Amino acid sequence: MNAFDKVIGYKATKRELLQLCDMLRNREIYEEMGARLPHGLLLYGDPGLGKTLLARCFVEESGLHTITVRRDKGGDAFVDGITQAFASAKTKAPSILLLDDMDKFANEDDTHCDAPEYAAVQAGIDDVKDAGVFVIATANDIRKLPSSLRRSGRFDRKIGLQAPTASDAEEIIAHYLKSKKVSDSVNMEDLTRMMRYNSCAELETILNEAAVRAAFARKTGIDMEDMVSVVLKQQYGAQEDMPRVSDEVIEKVALHEAGHLVVCEALCPGSVGFASLLPSDENRCGGFIHCCKGASDSQSAIIALGGKAAVEMRYAGQVAEGCSDDIACAVNCIREAAAKEGALGFSLLNVESDSSSNMPESLNARSEAAVQAEVERYYGKARALLAQNEAFLKEITEALVMKKTLLYSDIQAIRGTAVKKNPAVTCEAASRYDAAEIENFPSEDPEEAMRQKIMRKLEEAERRRCS
């Protein structure tokens, strides 16, 4: 047993911190090997990931006298406090000095990197470097710290904390549920797949709010309804009640979200952990799907266009409304891949700048033409995937209209049933839409036809630029 056992997940980080603690306790063993103790440790990452908890565990495991500095005053008084803390740690050596939320020591912008608070920290680190004082600092955003402060020699070890992984989140959720009354209706797989793992603190808050909701309703235990309601409110800003809108509107929104879901499942099976209809601005109905697995840029672009494709396939001749964000998402995915990764050929790489606003005019015109052609191609792929999964799309849409929220187990059950019940319909629909796609590109090689279409777009853009 060690002090880090109370921290769930972060196995690699805990191993590294245990190594440093061992060096502090058994310095002579490392010195015989010719190794010196690293100068300083900087833990950084988004709020709520457990930086301060890990630092406290480090202090506990090391067993050394520790002095903690937090910004609790301003101006010269705080600068003097920093200087005094280093001096006190030096007299108590061997000791640890913990600088908690160091990026908050001065004003939070890049123009204050030379602030006297940071100058005092740098001077203090240099003064105690060989005096038996080990300095630990935590920060949310190390970009707000001067490079001279965070460099090696002052902080040799820098450990960035990430949001919990799926396996870490499952452990965290199970840990917090041990102290709560939970009904048999709670499905752990559904629960872990429906949440976004922004931070450990957020996961704990969600589970606590579910317990509050269950207690207020005088239930005997937290059930899945409590979990779903709290996740929708905490992570997606949803209210309890659906707005009063027509059945036609709800069906179109459900079809739109089902389009995203089916395309996502077709490209990345088992990736959708949660889907729901929920109130949006101006008392309208909206929705979302939550993908619990990562997708490539090209897959993300096709998924983004799935909602528009589903509605326009059902309502032929109509342009689907409310798709501007989806289209922007698809365009951004394609543009990023083209400009930075050469996804549309090296001739469209932007090697001079990360910003399209600074891109040469000729390159920008060619890039935009190619991106437009790719959006059309990906939209066609989304339609083809929906046609191949027509039965799945129909049943997901109906389930969303009826239940408003679908969990991972619901989605997988519907998918399995749809495939068993309607294989012939699915194949027929796939053939019909595949034939329509090929008809648009009369060539023995549809991919070659698409490349030719992109080249024509580029040539048109070049002619417009020169005219």
pLDDT number for residue 57: 95
- The string of pLDDT tens digits covering residues 436-460 is 444 444 444 555 565 566 666 656 6
pLDDT number for residue 378: 92
Per-residue pLDDT band at 434 (split at 50, 70, 90): very low
> What topology does CATH give the domain 3-160?
Rossmann fold (3.40.50)
Per-domain residue ranges for the chain? 3-160, 166-236, 247-466
Cβ atoms within 10 Å of 420's Cβ, excluding its own: 9
In the block, tokens 């191949």 appear at 388
CATH hierarchy code of domain 247-466: 1.20.58.760
What SS3 state is found at 234? helix
Interhelix angle 390-403/423-440, nearest 10 degrees:
110
Examine the pLDDT at 110 and tell me if it is beyond 90.
Answer: no
The three-point CA angle 200-205-211 to 5° equals 135
- The predicted model gives 198-203 an average pLDDT of 86
Average pLDDT across the chain, whole number: 83
- The string of pLDDT tens digits covering residues 220-243 is 999 999 999 999 998 888 776 666
Examine the pLDDT at 128 and tell me if it is beyond 60.
Answer: yes
| Pairing state between β 95-99 and 65-69 | parallel
Give, in words, the CATH class of 166-236. mainly alpha
In the block, tokens 């109130």 appear at 279
Percent of the chain residues past pLDDT 70, beyond the cut: 79
pLDDT number for residue 464: 60
Residues paired with residue 279 on neighbouring β-strands, in sequence order: 285
Q: State which H helix or E strand residue 208 sits in.
A: helix 200-216
261 within 8 A of 302, measured Cβ to Cβ: no
pLDDT number for residue 399: 96
- The string of pLDDT tens digits covering residues 354-410 is 445 555 565 566 667 778 888 999 999 999 999 999 999 999 999 999 999 999 999
